[in-house]
Amino acid sequence: MKAFYILALSLMLSACASKDTGRAVPSVSETSNPVVKNQEPAELYSDRYFVNYANALNQHTENALRSKIVEAKMVEKLETDLAFTFNANQRANVTQLLSSLTDTSITAILAQPGGSWKYVDSDVHTKQQATSYYRFTLDGTFAYYEISWLDGHIVDIFNLFTGVGISDSFDLVIDMEQYRKTHPNSGIQRMGDFFEAVRQASYTEMLFAYNEIPKPFQQKPLVLAGLMKAYINQPSLVMPRSFVVYMEKHQPVHPRFYAYYYDNQQFDLAIESLKRFPETVVKDVRVQVEIGNALYESGQTEKAEDYLVNALLKAPSEPFGYIWLLGLSIDTKQYQQTELILKVLYDRFDTRYSKTDLLTFDRGEEYLKSASYQRYKQYLN
């Protein structure tokens, strides 16, 4: 039966990077990832060490991940967390399970090719243990990963948006197996049907399967991640009644629910969901501009502008602050600022806004009639 559970989990470990819920803008790539040759050796767990690892992820993601993973270290970490020592047979079974879950996690990450990895920050706990945080950006989507280290080896990869990591998946396999033993006719196998339906975008079947999943598992992170993946892909989807009641009654806050709350104009809950990232991730420019955008949509224009300007000042080499501040500037008719931002985006990021692009903003048509736009056109020529 464990093979079934691993298969079920493998279908969903990739769900789900956040989507940009703001205005449509031309895509602006992050700083390009040049080939890095002969990197200087870096002290273990130094910032340079983790920056070098981001470079490695950008050059060849799978090689970078697999080169740092040793199942024996993962088992060692698990034993420490459980305060328990496996016997030889248990160790072999646990190692096999962790190996399978690691493979599916890596496969999920590789299912989004062409993205960009950027080191955000790290926490060094001891000489042996550390945690590093990385932003993964692809077109209009982004995700954050928390990577746990032991003696220079990766022992867990945790998707901060979905709230799912290798160790959590391991725990879910154990929970499912124990539940099956005590509830042999519980319908636990519908978990696999649910995950497969999400993967195939068969959302009617997904809803049927979700309703038949045992209630103790309906709010598990992987299941909620599956629902959010379906919702992001099809916002008009009518969500299961039990899920809607759960959201209304408990109002859970977690990054996975950001898009749901944003689209339902529950901006306070959307912002609180983003703030549930680790503090060091909340401070990252990509999260800051998303909070700024949510503040703007909630009508807190002045506070939103402060967030966006501060994000831009902290990370002037990244495009996100400029893009969202551009939208606010156009909609609030701050045309001098609009013109400056458009020129910076062109000069620094090689991105020009066409008439069609500018019309996507709420007051883009008004801006096209301004002297500022005429000066911008002349600047491009």
In tens, the pLDDT along 18-69 reads: 444 443 444 454 544 444 555 677 899 999 999 999 999 999 999 999 999 9
- Residue corresponding to tokens 């009508």: 299
Q: CATH 1.25.40.10: which residues of the chain?
A: 284-380
* Token pair recorded at residue 57: 């992820």
* pLDDT exceeds 60 at position 4: no
- So what's the pLDDT on residue 28? 53
How far apart CA 122 and CA 147 sit, in angstroms, is 9
Angle of CA points 277, 292, 14, to nearest 5°? 40
- Distance between CA 11 and CA 198 in Å, rounded? 8
Contacts of 297 (CB under 8 A, 6+ apart): 22, 262, 265, 267
Output the pLDDT for position 37.
54
Residue 205 pLDDT exceeds 80: yes
User: What is the structure's pLDDT at 286?
Assistant: 92
CA distances to 94, 252, 276 from 249, in Å:
38, 9, 19
pLDDT at position 42: 85
How much is the average pLDDT of 326-348?
95
pLDDT at 7 over 70: no
Q: What are the pLDDT digits (tens) for 84-142?
A: 898 999 899 889 888 988 998 898 888 888 899 999 999 999 999 999 999 999 887 88
Domain with CATH 3.10.450 in the chain: 17-161
Q: What is the CATH number of domain 284-380?
A: 1.25.40.10
Percent of the chain clearing pLDDT 90 (strictly above): 59
Question: How far is 112 from 137, CA to CA, in rounded Å?
Answer: 10
Average pLDDT over residues 148-160: 96
pLDDT computed for residue 355 by the predictor: 94
- Quick one: tokens of 152? 């220079």
Distance CA 164, CA 377 (A): 47
Tell me the CATH architecture of domain 17-161.
Roll (3.10)
Lowest mean pLDDT segment, chosen from 21-30, 147-156, 228-237, 336-345: 21-30
The residue-averaged pLDDT of 266-283 equals 97
**pLDDT given at position 39:** 67
Name the pTM for this structure: 0.86
Q: What is the C-alpha to C-alpha distance for residues 176 and 251, in angstroms, rounded to an integer?
A: 26
Q: What's the confidence (pLDDT) of residue 33?
A: 47
